[in-house]
Amino acid sequence: MNKNCPAKYNPWMHYFAIATAITTFLLLGLGGLVTSHEAGMSVPDWPNTYGYNMFLFPIGKWVGGVFYEHTHRLLASAVGLLTVVLAVWLWLRDVRRWMGQLGVVAVLLVIAQGVLGGLRVRWHMDNLGVFHGTVAQVFFILVCALALLTSRWWLQLSAERNWVSVPAGLRSLFVATTVLIFLQLMLGATMRHQHAGLAIRDFPLAYGQWWPDTSPEAMARYNSQRVEVVAETPVTAFQIVLQMFHRLGALAIFLAVTLCAWQARRQLGRRDGLARMAAAWHGLLILQIGLGIETLHSNKAADIATLHVMIGALSLVTGALWCVIAFRRSVATPKLAGNRANSGELNCPAVLALGGK
């Protein structure tokens, strides 16, 4: 393998990266189900499961919350395995050295993520659950990026130079909006790991007001009236303020994504792939806000709340990948490798040898 050659499209590696990304997405959803069902502590030990090796835990005991937590652990093991295989593959077969390094980062992240999840159980620390939820999002972005970077489309984009550069201002707008979504997901993870159900139930008002009273008297009143079947924990003023910021964050993100979609269409043209992607992003945000409202109306039904987590993750990854593509389109292709490769000087295979145009 000549490291000076441009990357060659490897369809199986690409499919494998896609499979890793999809499995990670499902894992995120299963993690959402764990918190939606308040099942995070339903398996008291780790890495064992009720004293069994987790892979040998009898199916008959996968009951109630144990089902969600145990399957989450099993799927996480599968994602860990897929990530290690992908990383080794990238390291050995991808000529882009930095791709191998990204694979190593993915392995480190997935290990850290597993340990965080385990320690959250062992140490009974809800705050670790917030980090667990946040690292999950970062890891999901990374594996989706690996799927993108191993795609024929990406390599073609790198090989060709006839694309329109994305203006710096537009890129900055998308980066800022994506960061905003990331912060919003951290807020959401914090809310989920408070285990207090819904701190505010009404919408668009909050306890009948645009900004709810959080005085000690008001909190005592809210809690005395609150009757929950699950997550029966008194709500605090902090949790109410947290949800208010989450609502305001949703509004800010919606406006920002609307602006992004409009500007992308205006500056790149409506037929441009990135403009279309931004339009799809806008659609995802509308869906996400609808799910957020329905989470309130359904009294945080587990399936709705979990979908809210999953679409949130998709929204974040869409913004992140948009930025990656936009930056790629704004950086000139290294001439040397391409020219030397094309001239046959390095004895390189064709850039898109397998399935390329």
Q: Taking CB under 8 A as the rule, which mask of x and - marks residues 259-298 in contact with another protein?
A: ----------------------------------------
Q: What is the 3-state secondary structure (H, E, C) of 236-291?
A: CHHHHHHHHHHHHHHHHHHHHHHHHHHHHHHHHCCCCHHHHHHHHHHHHHHHHHHH
Residue 59 backbone phi and psi in degrees, to 5: -60, -30
CB of 124 to another protein, least distance (A): 6
Q: Which residue in 65, 118, 167, 273 binds another protein (CB under 8 A)?
A: 65
Handedness of CA 88, 91, 94, 99 (dihedral sign): positive
Q: Map residue 235 onto helix, strand or coil.
A: coil
CB of 123 to another protein, least distance (A): 10
- Cα(128)–Cα(41) distance, integer angstroms: 13
Beta bridge partner(s), residue 209: 206
Shorter beta-carbon distance to another protein: residue 85 or 231? 231
- Cα(28)–Cα(242) distance, integer angstroms: 22
Shorter beta-carbon distance to another protein: residue 232 or 345? 232
Contact 19, 143 (CB under 8 A): no
- Which amino acid is present at 314? L
Q: Taking CB under 8 A as the rule, which mask of x and - marks residues 184-223 in contact with another protein?
A: ---------------------------------x--xx-x
Q: Find the DSSP H helices in 94-167.
A: 97-122, 126-149, 152-159
Q: How many residues bind another protein (CB under 8 A)?
A: 33
Shorter beta-carbon distance to another protein: residue 195 or 328? 195
Beta bridge partner(s), residue 52: 49
Q: Map residue 206 onto helix, strand or coil.
A: strand
Shorter beta-carbon distance to another protein: residue 46 or 254? 46
Shorter beta-carbon distance to another protein: residue 171 or 195? 195
- Span interacting with another protein, options 57-65, 81-89, 287-295, 327-335, rule CB under 8 A: 57-65
Q: Which residue in 176, 202, 209, 232 binds another protein (CB under 8 A)?
A: 232
Judged by phi (left if over 0) then psi (alpha if -120 to 50, else beta), residue 207 lies in: left
Shorter beta-carbon distance to another protein: residue 46 or 245? 46
Beta bridge partner(s), residue 206: 209
Q: Which residue in 233, 236, 333, 342 binds another protein (CB under 8 A)?
A: 233
CB of 236 to another protein, least distance (A): 12
- Compute the residue count for the chain: 357
Q: Which residue in 230, 237, 244, 252 binds another protein (CB under 8 A)?
A: 230
Residues 116-145 that bind another protein (CB under 8 A): 121, 124
Q: Which residue in 2, 3, 11, 63 binds another protein (CB under 8 A)?
A: 63
CB of 64 to another protein, least distance (A): 4
Q: Which residue in 201, 226, 265, 276 binds another protein (CB under 8 A)?
A: 226
- Which amino acid is present at 228? E
Shorter beta-carbon distance to another protein: residue 160 or 228? 228
Q: Taking CB under 8 A as the rule, which mask of x and - marks residues 32-51 in contact with another protein?
A: -----xxxxxxxxx----xx
CB of 226 to another protein, least distance (A): 8
Count Cβ atoms within 10 A of the Cβ of residue 92 and give its class: 0-12 exposed, 13-18 middle, 19 or more buried.
Answer: exposed
Please choose, from the candidates 314, 310, 322, 174, the residue with its C-alpha nearest in 3D space to the C-alpha of residue 253.
174
Q: Map residue 334 onto helix, strand or coil.
A: coil
- Cα(39)–Cα(201) distance, integer angstroms: 22
Shorter beta-carbon distance to another protein: residue 108 or 301? 301
For another protein, the binding residues (CB under 8 A) are 37-45, 50-51, 61, 63-66, 69, 121, 124, 217, 220-221, 223-233
